[in-house]
């Protein structure tokens, strides 16, 4: 039995096919009870859904039905099955037709554990960004009030919490609250990083801590899904765009990719070159920064770091500062 679902936040359009014949279809609530009302069996079905913001909302209920879940790539589906009339019904039938024709572009669906690790790192990153925004606002309010602030330490934040300046007092309390939340996240992330084989290997690279290691490991999820290192570069958004005409080539900006993975790799490169003087990554940065500037050199070194990580995970070997595979 094949079930195509056009997923919506509250309602989804479901098409149920058995032996090539559509048996039933229609709107249901995007809940486990809603799917039970239209899908007759709980075992052995193939569920075809399109990747989107509501994907993980329905993956859990579908996984509990002991079926197979196939996730379609939304951008590729848009190119393959472009239609003038876009409706939920048409979208569900397009998914089913592409599957029947063996022409369904597929996306990777990570395991439940990997999804939880990704979400944990994502929420922690969100809180860290909010804390940075609060810190900047504290500096602005202090400057506006004519107060000289040095570095914002725990001691200075505690002093601001008892200040007579209400904005500074409340902002300091917010900053301290965010710091406590980040600390709670760090405890959980470090424990999960110790349990992840990928994260333990990635953590051997100088400049990468347990938080970054778990984030990189969860975004990669399964190194076997990348046939070559270049597929990982493309996934991370570290491949420059190419323009070719008349036998001439121009290299442009890097292509879009996994922004979280790319920004983490670049951040780790800056820390790595500051604390590791003798690695191939640092040597590459020194050579390239003189020619193309520090920012472009850091992106190039992030690509080098991704290559090293790729072969570390493929070969199950820790980091070597002298090159891959030594």
pLDDT at 200: 94
Residue 104 pLDDT grade (very low, low, confident, very high; cuts 50, 70, 90): confident
Residue range 269-306, pLDDT digits in tens: 999 999 888 889 999 999 999 888 999 999 999 999 99
Alpha-carbon gap, residue 13 to 11, rounded angstroms: 7
| 165/214 Cα distance (integer angstroms) | 40
pLDDT single digits (tens) 22-36:
888 889 888 888 888
154-160 mean pLDDT: 82
Mean pLDDT of 82-92: 79
What confidence score (pLDDT) does residue 326 get?
A: 44
Taking 80 as the threshold, does the pLDDT of residue 255 lie above it?
Answer: no
Bridge partners (DSSP) listed for residue 21: 18
Residue 120 has pLDDT above 90, yes or no: yes
Ramachandran angles phi, psi of 14, nearest 5°: -115, 135
Average pLDDT over all residues of the chain: 87
Higher per-residue pLDDT: 298 or 245: 298
Q: With CA atoms as reference, report the closest residue to 269 among 249, 289, 290, 250.
A: 289
Kindly indicate the confidence band of residue 230, based on its pLDDT and cuts at 50, 70 and 90: very high
Q: Using pLDDT thresholds of 50, 70 and 90, give the confidence band for residue 252.
A: low
Mean pLDDT of all residues in 159-185 = 89
Residue 323: its pLDDT value, please? 63
In a 3-state reduction of DSSP, which class is residue 217?
A: helix
Whole-structure pTM value: 0.84
Confidence of residue 20 (pLDDT cuts 50, 70, 90): confident
| Cβ proximity of 48 and 91 under 8 Å | no
Delimit the domains of the chain by residue range: 2-107, 112-194, 210-315
CATH fold label, 2-107: Nucleotidyltransferase; domain 5 (3.30.420)
Strands (E), 95-214: 106-107
Average pLDDT of the residues in 86-98: 86
200-214 CB burial, b ≥16 within 10 A, e <16: bbbbebbbbbbbbbb
| Of 67, 46, 66, 63, residue with least CA distance to 2 | 46
Instruction: Please report the pLDDT score of residue 63 as a whole number.
Output: 84
Q: 3-state DSSP call for residue 106? A: strand
Average pLDDT over residues 197-207: 93
- Closest C-alpha among 51, 110, 318, 113 to residue 198: 318
Q: Are residues 306 and 229 in contact, defined by beta-carbon separation less than 8 angstroms?
A: yes
């Amino acid at each position: 039995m094949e079930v195509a679902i056009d997923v919506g936040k509250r309602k989804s359009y479901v098409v149920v096919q058995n032996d090539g014949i559509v048996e039933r279809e229609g709107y249901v609530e995007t809940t486990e009870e809603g799917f039970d009302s239209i899908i007759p069996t709980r075992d052995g079905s193939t569920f075809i859904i399109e990747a989107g913001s509501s994907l993980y909302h329905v993956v859990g209920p579908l996984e509990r039905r002991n079926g197979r879940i196939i996730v379609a790539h939304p951008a590729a589906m848009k190119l393959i099955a472009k239609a003038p009339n876009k409706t939920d019904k048409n979208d569900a039938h397009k998914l089913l037709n592409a599957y029947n024709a063996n022409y369904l572009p597929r996306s990777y669906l990570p395991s439940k554990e990997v999804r939880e690790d990704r979400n944990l790192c994502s929420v922690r990153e969100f809180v860290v960004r909010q804390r940075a925004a609060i810190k900047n606002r504290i500096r602005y309010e202090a400057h506006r009030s004519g107060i000289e602030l040095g570095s914002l330490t725990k001691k200075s934040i505690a002093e601001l919490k008892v200040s007579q300046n209400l904005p500074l007092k409340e902002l300091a309390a917010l900053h301290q609250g965010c710091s406590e939340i980040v600390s709670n996240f760090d405890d959980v992330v470090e424990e999960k990083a110790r349990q992840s084989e990928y994260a333990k290997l990635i953590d051997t690279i100088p400049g990468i801590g347990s938080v970054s290691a778990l984030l990189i490991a969860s975004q990669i999820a399964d190194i076997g899904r990348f046939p070559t290192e270049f597929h990982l570069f493309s996934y991370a958004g570290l491949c420059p765009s190419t323009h070719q005409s008349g036998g001439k080539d121009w290299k442009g900006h890097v292509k879009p990719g996994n922004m979280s993975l790319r920004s983490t790799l670049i951040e780790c490169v800056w820390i790595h070159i500051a604390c590791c003087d003798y690695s191939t990554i640092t040597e590459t940065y020194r050579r390239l920064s003189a020619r193309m500037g520090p920012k472009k050199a850091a992106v190039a070194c992030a690509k080098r770091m991704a290559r090293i990580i790729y072969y570390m995970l493929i070969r199950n070997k820790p980091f070597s500062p002298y090159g891959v595979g030594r």
